[in-house]
Amino acid sequence: MNKPGDGSQELGLADEMFVKAWRATKPELDRRARRLSDGHRDRADDLLANTAIKALLFMRRSPDAMSDPEGFLFVVLRHVFLDSVRRNGRDGEVFDRGVDIEAEGVAQGLDLSALQRMELEEQLGRVITAVASLSRDQKRLFVYRFIDDLPYPAIAERLAINQPLARKRVQLLRERIKVAVDRD
């Protein structure tokens, strides 16, 4: 039950704004993510998942700052992509430029079935629930790494720890969220 002043009504409005914008832009976001990932379906799905999480959390944090939620999703997708390129560059990974997008059926298969759409929405809901159940410190780490896109040196500095420990904590946080999502 929503009580005045408890923030849950604002949270609901932010969620509605996100869902409406996501549904309106999903086909074009899919195409753009596929293009950015050079046709790799799994990489495009990762870009979209990270985009959804970051956009939803930002919208929840600052719903009044949203004048164009649909356009904001494309900005977040671009930032997520650039972050992944930087991270992959650091890890020595590169996209395979030899992928034939047409051969993978990209042009023909962009529309998701109702079942696939429902599964993605359920999975997003599980991720949101998992993040909501984190401790205050874990949520702060989540925001530093996945919302603010801070590099590990900056995270380590803010937490007053060394970089390897910051990396380990982020790794453990990812695993915790994954376990929570898989459990649900």
Mean pLDDT of the region 11-28: 87
Between 47 and 113, the higher pLDDT residue: 47
The per-residue pLDDT of the chain, averaged, comes to 79
Highest mean pLDDT among 7-21, 39-53, 107-121: 39-53
Residue 125 — very low, low, confident or very high, per pLDDT cuts 50/70/90? confident
Domains in the chain, CATH or no CATH each: 1-111 (no CATH), 113-184 (1.10.10.10)
pLDDT at residue number 133? 87
Mean pLDDT of the region 69-73: 89
Is the per-residue pLDDT at 91 higher than 80? no
pLDDT at residue number 46? 87
pLDDT at residue number 184? 58
pLDDT at residue number 153? 93
User: Residue 170 and residue 172: Cα distance in Å, rounded?
Assistant: 5
Mean pLDDT of the region 109-131: 75
pLDDT at residue number 103? 46
pLDDT at residue number 165? 94
Q: How far is CA 87 from CA 52, 82, 152, 156, in A?
A: 19, 9, 11, 17
DSSP conformation letters of 144-158: IIIIS---HHHHHHH
Q: Which of 17, 16, 11, 8 is nearest to 67 (CA)?
A: 17
Mean pLDDT of the region 34-46: 87
Sort residue 105 into left (φ over 0), alpha (ψ -120 to 50) or beta.
Answer: left
